[in-house]
């Protein structure tokens, strides 16, 4: 596995795109951008594409500051950009993910750190869930390839790792921690200390207040309704905050959107695999969701709550949904869980 092996499956006569998930997060952007730079060394001209709206001001600022060129496909002028003749590499996601827009081109390669979703269909595939961030995996490519990471690229990769691993807060991120230390020696520290200064949106404050007001804790599990139409990133950040509450080992945060309820879920226990629990609970409600052992999310359609009036009744149904899943989802011993 490495740049040379990846390049070997690329047809130089056809256009090449690197696709990110929707909306792209810092880990995805860092991974795609550094991968594109390395492929350029090989004389290739990959273009980075995505769909969805990047809402976080700090992410937008970083893209601008570093001059990263990204092409948004779900706007009128670009909607037919990728054609069936073109080649696509997906990073930080897999083409079967619900947050990956299906493009016309041929999916030739995948580099990801999420659990493998489907049978191998790429010409080149490197899926390693043992990495907390795709940025760490991409950095290991640079090391193997002998590619010199610039101070700005290092800062960008560090940012990706920090966001995806909640600041390396868990033991299982040992591999990421080692690579992080290497990157830290190279990184532009002015850029690093600037990232995050612009990270709180006014919307986040009202979301946080609402979430704490609507917090219910039952059997070490925190449930919270964060209000209407919250960005997925805000829900995820909130779930990360609530999991640090004393005596809380599992967190369920949700927000109402136009077609249902978005959920963000966190677990600290290998005996409560967030991804498996969400998958089971949401399938029963005709929704869709899943994820890792410690982080998961998904959507439950409106109809699942249509017969109820008021936030209390909805919260009760959410709690019942999860109680049922806790009882019925079979867990392995957790040793090999991701």
Q: Minimum distance from CB of 267 to Mn ion (Å)?
A: 18
Q: Rounded to the nearest whole angstrom, what is the least distance from the CB of residue 36 to Mn ion in the complex?
A: 16
109 versus 285: smaller Cβ distance to Mn ion: 109
User: 133 or 304, CB closer to Mn ion?
Assistant: 133
CB of 131 to Mn ion, least distance (A): 9
176 sits near Mn ion (criterion: CB under 5 A) = no
* Residue 148 burial (C-beta neighbours within 10 Å; 0-12, 13-18, 19+): exposed
Give the footprint of Mn ion on residues 149-168 (CB under 5 A): 164
Q: Which two tokens stand for residue 250?
A: 């599992």
Task: Name the closest residue to Mn ion (Cβ).
Answer: 27
What would the DSSP string read from start to end of 8-42? HT--TTS-EEEE--SS--HHHHHHHHHHHHHHHHT
Region near Mn ion per CB under 5 A, out of 24-32, 69-77, 103-111, 325-333? 24-32
- Asked if 109 contacts 92 with a C-beta cutoff of 8 angstroms, the reply is no
- Minimum Å gap between C-beta 327 and Mn ion is 31
Provide, rounded to whole angstroms, the least separation between the CB of residue 180 and Mn ion. Answer: 14
3-state secondary structure 65-133: HHCCCEEECCCHHHCCCCCCCCEEEEECCCCCCCCCCCCCCEEEEEEECCCCCCCCCCCEEEECCCCCC
Question: Which residue number, 27 or 237, has a Cβ lying nearer to Mn ion?
Answer: 27
CA distance between the termini of the chain = 21
Tell me whether residue 178 or residue 213 sits nearer to Mn ion (CB atom): 178
Q: In the 3-class helix/strand/coil scheme, how is 171-208 assigned residue by residue? A: HHHHHHHHHHHHHHHHCCHHHHHHCCCCCCCHHHHHHH
Task: Output the smallest distance, CB 237 to Mn ion, in A.
Answer: 15
Using CB under 5 A as the binding rule, the residues of this chain from 50 to 89 that contact Mn ion are: none
CB of 21 to Mn ion, least distance (A): 8
**Contact with Mn ion (CB under 5 A) among 92, 176, 233, 237:** 92
- Closer of 2 and 129 to Mn ion (Cβ): 129
| Cβ(211)–Cβ(225) below 8 Å | yes
Nearer to Mn ion (CB atom), residue 86 or residue 92 = 92
State which residue, 27 or 176, has the beta carbon closest to Mn ion: 27
**Sequence-distant (≥ 6) Cβ neighbours of residue 170 within 8 angstroms:** 132, 294
User: Quick one: which H or E segment has residue 222?
Assistant: strand 221-228
Name which of residues 124 to 143 contact Mn ion (CB under 5 A): 134
Q: 86 near 16, Cβ under 8 Å? A: yes
Give how many residues touch Mn ion by CB under 5 A. Answer: 4
Residues binding Mn ion (CB under 5 A): 27, 92, 134, 164
């Amino acid at each position: 596995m490495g740049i040379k092996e990846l390049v070997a499956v690329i047809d130089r006569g056809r256009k090449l795109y690197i696709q990110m998930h929707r909306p792209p997060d810092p880990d995805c952007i860092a991974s795609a951008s550094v991968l594109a730079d390395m492929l350029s060394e090989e004389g290739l001209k990959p273009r980075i594409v995505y769909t969805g709206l990047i809402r976080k001001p700090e992410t937008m600022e970083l893209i601008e500051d570093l001059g990263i060129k990204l092409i948004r496909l779900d706007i009128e002028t670009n909607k037919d950009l990728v054609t069936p003749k073109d080649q696509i590499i997906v990073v930080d996601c897999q083409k079967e993910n619900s947050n990956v827009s299906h493009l016309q081109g041929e999916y030739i390669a995948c580099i990801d750190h999420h659990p493998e979703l489907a049978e191998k269909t790429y010409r080149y595939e490197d899926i390693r869930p043992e990495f907390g961030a795709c940025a760490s995996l991409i950095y290991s490519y640079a090391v193997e390839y002998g590619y010199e990471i610039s101070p700005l690229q290092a800062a960008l990769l560090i940012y990706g790792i920090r966001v995806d691993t909640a600041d390396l807060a868990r033991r299982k991120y040992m591999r990421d921690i080692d690579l992080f230390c290497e990157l830290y020696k190279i990184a532009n520290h002015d850029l690093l200390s600037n990232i995050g200064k612009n990270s709180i949106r006014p919307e986040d404050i009202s979301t946080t207040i609402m979430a704490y007001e609507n917090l219910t804790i039952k059997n070490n599990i925190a449930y919270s309704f964060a209000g209407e139409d919250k960005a997925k990133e805000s829900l995820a950040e909130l779930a990360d905050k609530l999991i640090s509450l004393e005596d809380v080992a599992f967190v369920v945060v949700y927000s109402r959107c136009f077609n249902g309820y978005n959920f963000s879920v966190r677990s600290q226990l290998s005996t409560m695999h967030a991804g498996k629990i969400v998958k089971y609970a949401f399938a029963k409600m005709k929704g869709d969701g899943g994820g890792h052992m410690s982080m998961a999310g998904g959507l439950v359609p409106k109809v699942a709550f249509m017969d109820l009036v008021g936030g209390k009744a909805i919260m009760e149904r959410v709690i019942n949904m999860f109680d049922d899943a806790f009882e019925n989802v079979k867990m392995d011993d957790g040793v090999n869980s991701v």
